[in-house]
Amino acid sequence: MVLNEQDRELIAAIQGGLLLVAEPYAAIAAQLGLTETQVIARLQLLQETGLIKRMGVVVKHRALGYRANAMVVWDIPDAEVERIGALLADETCVTLCYQRPRRLPAWPYNLFCMIHGRERDSVLRRLEQIIEFHGLEKIPHTVLFSGRSFKQRGAHYVDKARLPAVVRRSHG
């Protein structure tokens, strides 16, 4: 679908988050000079067309005690990526699973999984079980644990300069 100017204003107004009030869409509508019904109808359309996956909260894994955040990367023969990617994505501890391009010679890996766990040991134990269960012993892999996190925010898709003043202020 093509975004119109009103959609862009609406997206800009909500991308930093909605107010935690009983009627958040009425609050946004008042800010944009629209009716609540207009805002809800447009957001439902954005959701139906897949531009918005869902309305919800963004959880910070670290703050919830998931301190071991492992990126497990695999060098899988291209013909097998589909099958193995689907198997790994099905594992409960795998929170993201993407195929990405190799960057040879520096980077031979083409499948990336995120595994969140409370401790490094438990993440590694779980990984060993996954490898054994699916017979992945011959697939080269490596585990990159995260150290410091420098920046963590949702992506912003509309220029900050386009945000209404009231929203821009709340982002400093």
Chain positions 27 to 46 lying near another protein, rule: CB under 8 A, are 36, 40, 43-44, 46
What's the CA gap between 158 and 146, in Å, rounded?
A: 29
Rule CB under 8 A: is residue 24 a binding residue for another protein? yes
Minimal distance in Å, beta carbon 139 to another protein?
15
> Are 104 and 111 a contacting pair, CB within 8 Å?
no
For position 64 contacting another protein by CB under 8 A, the verdict is yes
Which H or E run includes 30?
helix 24-32
Q: Does 69 bind another protein (CB under 8 A)?
A: yes
Which of positions 72-91 make contact with another protein (CB under 8 A)? 81, 85-86, 88-90
Q: Do residues 26 and 36 lie in contact, with contact meaning Cβ atoms separated by under 8 Å?
A: yes
- Residue 105: cis peptide before it, omega within 30 degrees of 0: yes
Relative to beta strand 94-99, strand 111-117 is antiparallel
Query: Residue 115 and residue 32: Cα distance in Å, rounded?
Result: 40
Is 119 a binding residue for another protein by CB under 8 A? The answer is: no
Q: At what angle do helices 36-48 and 24-32 cross, to 10 degrees?
A: 110
Q: How far is the CB of 31 from another protein (least distance, A)?
A: 14
Contact status: 14 vs another protein (CB under 8 A): yes
Number of residues that bind another protein (CB under 8 A): 76
Nearest Cα residue to 126 out of 86, 76, 84, 91: 91
Residues in contact with another protein, shown as a per-residue x/- string from 149 to 168 under the rule CB under 8 A? xxxxxxxxxxxx--------
Among 33, 101, 135, 172, binds another protein (CB under 8 A): 101
Contacting another protein (CB under 8 A), which of 79, 148, 165, 172?
148
Chosen residue from 33, 53, 79, 166 binding another protein by CB under 8 A: 53
